[in-house]
Amino acid sequence: MDLFSSPDFSAHVNDLIRRHHVPGISIAVAQNDQVASAGYGSASLDSESETPCTADTLFDVGSSAKSLTAAAIALLVDDDQKYPHIHYDAVMSKLLPDDFVMSDAAYTDNVTLDDMLGHRTGMPGHNDSYLGVRAAEPDNARSITRNLRNLPVTAPLRSRYLYCNMMYTVATHLIEVETQQTFADFLQDRLLEQLDMTSTSLQPSRVREKGLGDRLATGYFWDKAASSYRGIPSQDCPEGQGAGSVISSANDFIKWVKGLMNREGPINENVYQGLLRLRSFKNPNARKLKPFTSPAFYAAGLEIYYYRGHAVVWHNGSVAGFGSRFFFLPDFSFGAVILGNSEGVGPVGAMLAQELIDEVLQVPATERSHQNQGPRVREGTQENLAVRPKKNKNKKQGQPKPKVMSDKAEKGAAASAAREGMENAKPKGVVGLKDKEPQEIALDAYTGVFWHAGYRGMMVEVNDGRLFIDASDRSLGFTLTFAHQSGQTKYTAHLRDLLEDGDDPVAAEFVIEDGKVVRMGLKLENVIDELIWFDRVE
């Protein structure tokens, strides 16, 4: 606790968030039964009334929420009287016979609850298949579960670690079916209330219903070109429940970490051991291991590695505008939570966590590798983050103090863009948009509605002289602007994120039969070698 409460640590945190473009960050640490916490920077950057960040500021914790989902499942597994049929080795299609069907019968008949929790089902993320709240028919936990049958798998069952947010949403559907409660209510009744986590909620709307809306931090995206922050509106993501969508504060989430670490409240020894049981090798080739560090394992909503002979249990999360990280060391009854309001929390949280761990282990200063790395310390793999990976992130540090739009203006502009389906996302805003070969066939020949059972409909239209798709109805909304490459069939579709802009190239191809465009393929899932193929239906 001495390091955490020192002026040097506070100055260090403030320096890190400045360099990594994090407006505000909250940290809480627990040692046995003792808790200390602090806030740094700003929860909101409204130029008229900038709101300081405190340990009670509320953030979206992203994928750190998976630990709560896994714990909710563990409570059912532990209750042999009410749920004797629910155990980690239970086959999902027997628990949800009407809903849990995968694209191959071998998976349908064999995927277990444990496989889902350990990310070893063979199913990749398919993140662009979810329909968000902007869609005419948004997804929910049941529809996400029933859509599994329409999505291709990419690896044999239990052959490799493949992070899949959907499976944690499926877990919440199981909870809702078995308990006849909403997942939000079950979480509230069986976990949050038992641990006195009064400031933690599922979805922003529930935060506001509790009267805590004034404590919500504004999420931000750092716009490198404009050298300024852009606010990101908070909205419910029912299609992502279980995988994320939990709102909490450092002071509240540390209660969960402490409760898990010390087996408090509903967390008995059976629940604890079930959550920490190792299920998947994250990095079986053990490449790029840090000094004194073992390969990492995935348990259930938790990752585990060994550092200097001691287990480190942790998880992180990242959604548009927010980031999180928590960890604990069972051998020392020490844990911490780090929450912030930009994606830059990733590297900052990784560095601060390592510093706290080294302090607890009393690692000699000369052996603390992070001391000389500064902002170059890398966060873990991007695969466990619930955001679209960016190929060319800004790594430069030490920029001058950023310009900041009015917080109200940021929220209004971002919310307007979301409502209007990205009307401002025109092809002229995409970087590097250039045809490799001339487009000879009239663009109207390619327009229409294209359908894939798992990814649903995509409408191709012409916008400013380019083939264009507005997919802002997706959970991770985006647009695609096409540049012709060859043969009047092969294109590069430039993907622009609804909230964070960018320019990510996506391979695209059209199939022409008898002079008519009949199919469209898009590389929407990088783990799968093939394109996702859509049939033209209109």
Considering 384, 413, 441, which residue would you say is the last residue of a domain?
Answer: 384
pLDDT digits (tens, 9 = 90+) for 165-188: 999 999 999 999 999 999 999 999
Average pLDDT (68-91) is 98
Range with the lowest mean pLDDT among 49-63, 276-290, 465-479? 276-290
User: Residue 14 is inside which H or E element, if any?
Assistant: helix 7-19
Of 499 and 191, more confident: 191
Higher pLDDT, 485 or 374: 485
Q: How many domains, in total, are found in the chain?
A: 3
Looking at the domain assignment, is residue 21 inside a domain? Answer: yes
Percent of the chain having pLDDT more than 90?
80
Structural domain contains residue 401: no
pLDDT at 396 (0 to 100): 31
pLDDT at 428 over 60: no
State the pLDDT at residue 291. Answer: 86
Q: Are strands 228-232 and 403-404 parallel, antiparallel or unpaired?
A: parallel
Q: Is the pLDDT of residue 392 over 60?
A: no
Q: Residue 464 to residues 422, 429, 461, 467, 501: CA-CA distances in angstroms? A: 14, 11, 10, 8, 18
What pLDDT score was predicted for residue 432? Answer: 62
For residue 1, tell me if it sits in a domain.
no
Confidence at 537, pLDDT banded by 50, 70, 90 = very high
Q: Is the pLDDT of residue 423 over 80?
A: no
pLDDT at 375 over 50: no
CA dist 458 to 22, 179, 452, 536, Å?
35, 36, 8, 9
Query: Does residue 408 belong to any structural domain of this protein?
Result: no
Helix axes 7-19, 345-360, angle to 10 degrees: 150
Q: What is d(CA 157, CA 348) in angstroms, rounded to the nearest whole number? A: 35
Q: How many other CB atoms are found less than 10 A from the CB of residue 272? A: 18
Pinpoint the alpha helices (H) of 328-482: 345-360, 407-419
Residue type, position 148, single letter: L
Query: Cα torsion for 201, 202, 205, 206, to the nearest 10°?
Result: -40
Q: What is the mean pLDDT of the chain?
A: 89
Instruction: Considering only residues 360 and 406, tell me which one the structure prediction assigns the higher pLDDT.
Output: 360
Domain assignment present for residue 392? The answer is no
DSSP one-letter string for 162-180: ---HHHHHHHHHHHHHHHS
Residues 319 and 365 in one domain: yes
Residue 382 pLDDT grade (very low, low, confident, very high; cuts 50, 70, 90)? very low
Q: Are residues 134 and 214 in the same domain?
A: no
Top pLDDT among 379 and 154 is at 154
pLDDT at 353 over 60: yes
φ, ψ at 497 (rounded to 5°)? -70, 140
The last residue of a domain, from among 384, 415, 440: 384
Does 35 have pLDDT greater than 60?
yes
Residues 36 and 172 in one domain: no
Mean pLDDT of 46-55: 86
Residue 431 confidence (pLDDT): 55
pLDDT higher than threshold 80 for residue 394: no
Q: Is a pLDDT exceeding 90 seen at residue 532? A: yes
Indicate whether 430 pLDDT > 70: no
| 144 and 49, same domain (yes or no) | no
Span 46-60, mean pLDDT? 90
Q: What is the reported pLDDT for 290?
A: 87
Q: Are residues 44 and 126 located together in one domain of the fold?
A: no
Highest mean pLDDT among 42-51, 306-315, 432-441: 306-315
Q: Quick: pLDDT tens for 257-314.
A: 999 999 999 999 999 999 999 999 998 877 788 889 999 999 999 999 999 999 999 9
Which of the pair, 468 or 403, is modelled with greater confidence? 468
Residues 6+ apart with CB under 8 A from 337: 26, 27, 28, 29, 250, 253, 254, 257, 324, 325, 326
Last residue of a domain, one of 352, 384, 416: 384
Range of the domain at 471: 425-536
439 located within any domain = yes
Whether pLDDT at 411 is above 50: no
pLDDT > 70 fraction of the chain, expressed in percent and rounded: 88
Residue 77, in any domain of the structure: yes
How many CB atoms lie under 10 A from the CB of residue 240? 28
Mean pLDDT in residue range 464-491:
96
Q: pLDDT grade, residue 319 (50/70/90)? A: very high
Tell me whether residue 416 is in a domain.
no
d(CA 439, CA 222): 36
Structure tokens at 159: 């052959």
Q: Are residues 38 and 141 in the same domain?
A: no
Question: Distance (Å, rounded) from C-alpha 77 to C-alpha 88?
Answer: 7
- Please name the amino acid found at residue 107: Y
What single letter denotes the amino acid at residue 263? R
Strands (E), 174-309: 201-202, 219-223, 228-232, 246-248, 280-281, 297-298, 303-307
235 shares its domain with 306: yes
Tell me: pLDDT of 420 over 70. Answer: no
Q: Count CB atoms within 10 A of the CB of residue 442.
A: 9
Same domain, 260 and 366: yes
At residue 451, the pLDDT reads 98
Q: Are both 218 and 354 inside the same structural domain?
A: yes
The pLDDT of residue 370 is 59
Please determine, for residue 207, whether its predicted confidence score (pLDDT) is greater than 50: yes
Same domain, 329 and 210: yes
Q: CATH number of the domain at 460, please.
A: 2.40.128.600
Whether residues 345 and 233 share a domain: the answer is yes
pLDDT at 386 over 90: no
pLDDT at 405: 38
Strand boundaries in 186-343, DSSP class E: 201-202, 219-223, 228-232, 246-248, 280-281, 297-298, 303-307, 310-319, 322-329, 334-340
Q: Quick one: which of 95, 159, 165 has its CA closest to 124?
A: 165
Amino acid 400: pLDDT: 31
Kindly state whether residues 271 and 376 are assigned to the same domain: yes
Looking up residue 85, the CATH number of its domain turns out to be 3.40.710.10
- Answer whether 469's CB lies under 8 Å from 483's CB: no
CB 251 within 8 A of CB 56: yes
